[in-house]
Amino acid sequence: MTHRLIRTLIPVVVACFVFTLQLQAGTIVAGKPEDLGFSPERLARIHEAVQRHIDAKSLAGAVTMVVRNGRIAHLEGHGLIDLETNRPMPKDAIFRLASMSKPVTAVAVMMMIEEGKLRLTDPVSRFIPEFKTMKVAVPKPGSEAAAAAAGGRGGRGAAPVDIDLVPASREITVRDLLTHGSGLMSGGLGQRASASLAQRAPDDTLATYIPKLGGAVLDFQPGTLWRYSGLAGFDVLGRIVEITSGQPFDRFLKQRLFDPLGMKDTGFALLPDRASRIVPLYRRAAAESARAAGQNGLEKLPDQNGLSSATYFSGAGGLVTTAEDYAQFATMLVNGGELNGKRYLSPRTIELMASNHTGEMAGGQMGMSPRGIGFGLGVQVVEDPVAADRRVSKGAWGWAGAYGTNVHIEPQEKMVTIILMQTSTPALQRDFENAVFQAIVK
């Protein structure tokens, strides 16, 4: 019996040991700032920059992180995780990423491309037939919609009744979705004409919901404009990964990225056993509400779930994570697709992802500078920091989330910078960039 029990337990022990090694292999260790090219005294200005915004009651707290040459130079929690309890912000706080989920989805797509299971030029209908024949909304001549389209980008604010529907000149492709050139639910006339399709049922999954979007009206002819598809485009990409990999999107990410990278707190659901580390979503209250709330001018959002779900895996904005977890992912990217001896993507694929695929079309939108900025496959690319008025290096790339999360991958500096908050404060993102770069001394 003893020998039989030992033979039974050995595979279990080995599996646990291998899993433990996987988690340890993904851990980025701390280094001395001075050994990584930073002035420790100047790095302290990161806290000063964040604290100024906390003192101004713009947000409750944040976590900042800087990794260079594969070592942590800076990791700090600032302010409070919860205004009601006055608990300090822990370094391992869990944040809703919102659109900072998109680079993760883009990497999943690129993994499928490397395996030959899809191409950038593939029409979406190859995987989801409902997208085969789509229509585009155009303003009726002489209508208010036509006047709005002529006076502003994308015809925002115009009434759906003032449109005609014309056939799409071509099908939307995987590249269109990655670069926000599809016209799918990107805030224009077509989205307003398709408003009913945007509503998801509580029990919807990617498999049940995404085919419905094939009936949506596009905002413009595919590939002719850059307009941000905040949710639909990247959720469609998540479904394509499900189809091409044969796995639910959450399981694919867990097995192919999160587990091997050691991202133990990353996923789509707000898990109850981690509730004490989940940062509440706050918004800046109106003056009257702020006085009534007595909470530093901030009040909790009514919906604290955001886009997190245990059943609908939104590749556009549903992930939650910690700064250290996301740093594993971002460091793999700055290393050219490899971390701790395991390769996830090739360097050439990373270069393709971080190249400008849209020319100057994205400039001036979504808070981006009108000059010096391009857009790659799921990420913003800073081609000229001077023209863009940004304190990052040439070729830096990444993306942000609606609640204030932001990542920059800096190939030139072999550096990753991450700031996480749950009240959008763009000025702090720029101040953080400045505080990081003024601390680099070699």
DSSP string, 382-426: ES-HHHHT-SS-TT-EEEE-TTS-EEEEEGGGTEEEEEE-SS--H
Does residue 352 fall inside a structural domain?
yes
Residue corresponding to tokens 């006076």? 151
Domain shared by 115 and 199, yes or no: yes
CA-CA distance, 126 to 113, in Å (whole number)? 14
Total of domains in the chain: 2
Beta bridge partners of 138: 164
- pLDDT value for 151: 45
Does residue 105 fall inside a structural domain?
no
Does residue 102 fall inside a structural domain?
no
Domain shared by 336 and 364, yes or no: yes
Domain shared by 389 and 428, yes or no: yes
Domain shared by 64 and 162, yes or no: no
Listing from the earlier edge strand, what are the strands of the sheet with 71-82? 87-88, 71-82, 61-68, 415-420, 406-410, 397-400, 380-382, 373-375
Domain final residue pick, 213, 245, 277: 245
Does residue 214 fall inside a structural domain?
yes
Does residue 192 fall inside a structural domain?
yes
Is residue 368 within 8 Å of residue 61, measured between CB atoms?
A: no
Residue corresponding to tokens 């337990």? 9
Taking the C-alpha atoms of 434, 437, 439 and 442 in order, what is their torsion angle to the nearest 10 degrees? -170
Domain final residue pick, 245, 274, 290: 245
Domain shared by 135 and 235, yes or no: yes
- pLDDT value for 22: 40
pLDDT digits (tens, 9 = 90+) for 409-435: 999 999 999 999 999 999 999 999 999
Domain shared by 115 and 241, yes or no: yes
Between helices 102-114 and 323-334, what is the axis angle to 10°? 40
Q: What does the DSSP 8-state code read for residue 344?
A: S
pLDDT digits (tens, 9 = 90+) for 310-365: 999 999 999 999 999 999 999 999 999 999 999 999 999 999 999 999 999 999 99
Instruction: List all residues 6 or more positions away from 229 whose beta carbon is below 8 Å from its beta carbon.
Output: 177, 180, 182, 184, 185, 186, 316
- pLDDT value for 24: 45
Nearest to 303 by CA among 283, 323, 274: 283
- Domain span holding position 142: 111-245
Domain shared by 50 and 167, yes or no: no
Domain final residue pick, 245, 267, 291: 245
Domain shared by 58 and 117, yes or no: no
Which residues, given as ranges, of the chain have pLDDT below 50?
1, 5-6, 8-25, 150-159, 288
Token pair, residue 163, equals 């449109």
How many other C-beta atoms are found inside a 10 Å radius of the C-beta of residue 9? 10
Domain shared by 120 and 210, yes or no: yes
Whole-model pTM: value is 0.90
CATH number, domain containing residue 71? 3.40.710.10
Does residue 23 fall inside a structural domain?
no
Instruction: List all residues 6 or more positions away from 50 whose beta carbon is below 8 Å from its beta carbon.
Output: 62, 64, 78, 79, 428, 431, 432
Domain shared by 77 and 128, yes or no: no
Does residue 186 fall inside a structural domain?
yes
- pLDDT value for 19: 38
CA-CA distance, 246 to 240, in Å (whole number)? 10
Does residue 293 fall inside a structural domain?
no
Token pair, residue 53, equals 């915004």
Domain shared by 117 and 213, yes or no: yes
Domain shared by 333 and 430, yes or no: yes
